[in-house]
Amino acid sequence: MPDDTHDAREIRCPQLGGPVTFGYCRKMNDDLPCRNLLGCWSGRFDVVAFLRATYTVDELKRAFAPRDKTRFQRLIELAERAKQGDESQPGSEPERT
């Protein structure tokens, strides 16, 4: 049975802009912790010990592994392709010669 000792604790989520419980934060990512959980909850209790006791190494890797590209990086790349008229974008017509 999962440890729900801290689930009722509440903070303001910087991402959502409102109050959330620890229970939400530890399950919101397909039953895995939010990738920002450590930054938000550190200092309130020993969240690292909680995570180690509650999740497997594989689950923690899936939850906290770095993403290939950030949302911002993908937006910049899309803007650059649009500026260059990249024809590999979906919906673009091939150049006629």
pLDDT digit string, tens, across residues 49-78: 999 999 999 999 999 887 766 777 778 888
DSSP conformational letter for 12 = E
pLDDT at 86: 57
pLDDT digit string, tens, across residues 83-96: 887 555 555 454 55
Q: What pTM, to 2 d.p., does this model score? A: 0.65
CA distance 74 to 76: 5
Tokens representing residue 50 in the block = 């909680």
pLDDT at 85: 78
